[in-house]
Amino acid sequence: MGIVNLTPDSFSGDGVGKDLTRALAHAEAQREAGADILDLGAESTRPGAEPVPAQEELARLLPVLRVVRDWGVPVSVDTSKPEVMLAAIAEGAALINDVAALRQPGALETVAASDAGVCLMHMQGEPRTMQHHPHYEDVVAEVRDFLIGRVAACEAAGIPRERICLDPGFGFGKTVEHNYTLLAHLDALAALGLPLLVGLSRKSMLGAVTGRENGAARMPASVAAALLAVQKGARIVRVHDVAATKDAFAVLAALEGR
Ligand code: HH2
């Protein structure tokens, strides 16, 4: 999954804001690099980020979606707002990637009324304040139980399991320690039997162990993290650096089955 940030304030430094030409060039580069899914995000969810009104999110998103939907690659839309989900699905989004796991009122019903897939992500708190005091007794069990609960809510609302993938939400209300514990025990989440999506690319947990402060300088660590996550059962990796990540997977594929 190649990240296409349509925000002016992405933590990773690759946001393009409302510049349509730059946004499309960025999306095209992700596709050319071999992304199997393009993930369009028009609201930053980085720690401390303020929410963006739905109209602003749609103004950033729809012009890009209306072009990339015809490229033959499934398009995912990273949003938590039901009104944005509704418009995105109507305009051809195949997947709703919701860091709030369809907890906003109306979100479950909106996805249920469509045939779009959904990614349910775990987050403790909300982006503005989530990194203030993350706390867990047992991070793996709590993330797993949350995801089980959200799958049950989806099924009760009429979204079948076949349309759902799960994400532990690296960096969303978690300390560096919590993030690495989750990565170490990713197989416990893969055991839930639904495809696992992970977003580790350029995140601060990688800066914490490499000392790399700037987004792009975290690329080698991001590739390593993606590879390790796949070895522990992840099926979809949400990345900025598609070409480098694919190279790493080519090496892994060459090893497998020998
Ligand atoms: N991380 C970010 C955004 N969306 N979605 C899923 N499913 N999993 C993630 O880990 C995830 C996500 C944050 O990264 P990014 O979009 O690069 O930055 P920003 O939120 O600043 O746009």
Q: Is 238 a catalytic residue?
A: yes
Count Cβ atoms below 10 Å from residue 163 Cβ, excluding itself.
17
- Asked whether 197 lines ligand 1 (CB < 6 A), one says yes
Q: Report how far residue 178's alpha carbon sits from residue 128's, in angstroms, rounded to the nearest whole number.
A: 19
Per-block mean pLDDT, blocks of 10 residues, the chain (258 long): 88 68 96 98 89 94 98 98 98 98 98 98 93 95 98 98 98 98 98 98 98 95 98 98 98 92
CA distances from 79 to 57, 61, 95, 125, 247 (A): 9, 10, 10, 16, 29
Q: What is the CATH number of domain 2-255?
A: 3.20.20.20
Q: What is the pLDDT of residues 96-144, one digit of tens each?
A: 999 999 999 999 999 999 999 999 999 999 988 988 999 999 999 999 9
- Whole-number Å distance, alpha carbon 199 to ligand 1 midpoint, is 7
Pocket test of ligand 1: the residue of 78, 121, 189, 214 to mutate, having most ligand atoms within 8 Å of its CB, is: 78
Residue boundaries of the structural domains of the chain: 2-255
> How far is Cα 152 from Cα 234, in angstroms, rounded to an integer?
21
Task: Return the best residue to mutate from 16, 46, 60, 61 for the ligand 1 pocket (most ligand atoms within 8 A of CB).
Answer: 46
Tell whether ligand 1 has an atom less than 6 A from the beta carbon of residue 232: no
Q: Tokens 């730059």 — which residue? A: 22
Catalytic residue list contains 232? no
21-33: pLDDT as tens digits = 999 999 999 999 9
Predicted confidence at residue 209, as pLDDT, reads: 98
Q: Is the CB of 179 under 6 A from ligand 1?
A: no
- Supply the pTM of this predicted model: 0.95
State if residue 119 touches ligand 1 by the CB under 6 angstroms criterion. Answer: yes
